[in-house]
Amino acid sequence: MTQALILDNLAVSRGSGPVISGVSLRVEPGKLLALVGPNGAGKTSLLESVSGVVTNSAGSITLDEVPLSKLSRIKRARLGLVHVEQGRTVFPSLTVQENLELTAKSPEELENALGLFPELAKRRHSASGLLSGGEQQMVVLARAFAAKPKYLLIDEMSLGLAPVVFLRLLPIIRNIAEAGVGVLMVEQFAQLSLEIADGALVVSGGRVTYQGAAKALLDDPKLLHGAYLGVSS
């Protein structure tokens, strides 16, 4: 069986008209694909169509060979697709551990998730609302990981965080991929996210303008710049 999250020729329309067209990509277990591009390029809409917040208007989405397009959000989640949406926050009055208990199905899964986040393990009994912004985002990530995703969609984890704080989250996101999860990550800090990614996809004006190794984009600022301007490689 093909183990991968595959988008083929995907199109998404919103009230304003088509926002994504002809996007094809593949995320494999244990790999991290960074999705970058200018504001309004359609990155959030793309993730939302994968998790089922919006329905794709054309093309297909398959998870380990199961077609997703006609499935509800809940069914997609049951298949192992977890979406950390933009602006997702903690439940502030619950402790770190209680936040994780919302998604972990067993004490083992909870401990497994905390194992990946030593900084959080130390503060497991603190109210999440008392943690720093960066630590709260760690709780959000840990809660997503505790749900045992096969594939994880992460939208702008850095929103509202200083780059130096976001830097602490990057190795954790990498570790999540190393643990066998296929990660598709949308990020405004292109450079930083490319540094931990295997593959990269640049979307501009709803279309793919670069697809390939993350390192190739990092090593060639002109290529990255051109892709942002919508020049297909």
Name the minimum Å distance from CB 138 to ligand ATP: 22
Distance CA 93, CA 91 (A): 6
Q: Please report how close the Cβ of residue 85 comes to ligand ATP at its closest, in angstroms.
A: 11
Member of 1, 2, 39, 118 binding ligand ATP (CB under 6 A): 39
202 binds ligand ATP (CB under 6 A): no
Cα 172 from Cα 20, distance rounded (Å): 30
Q: How far apart are CA 80 and CA 213, in angstroms?
A: 26
Instruction: Tell me: does residue 19 bind ligand ATP (CB under 6 A).
Output: yes
| Touching ligand ATP, residues 41-70 (CB under 6 A) | 41-45
Which amino acid is residue 175, in one-letter code? N
Q: Dihedrals φ, ψ of 227, to 5°?
A: -65, -35
Q: Which stretch binds ligand ATP (CB under 6 A): 15-23, 98-106, 139-147, 220-228?
A: 15-23
Does the protein bind ligand ATP through residue 40 (CB under 6 A)? yes
Binding residues with ligand ATP: total (CB under 6 A)? 12
Other beta carbons within 10 Å of 193: 25
Other CB atoms within a 10 A radius of the CB of residue 78 amount to 10
Residues that bind ligand ATP (CB under 6 A): 14-16, 19, 37, 39-45
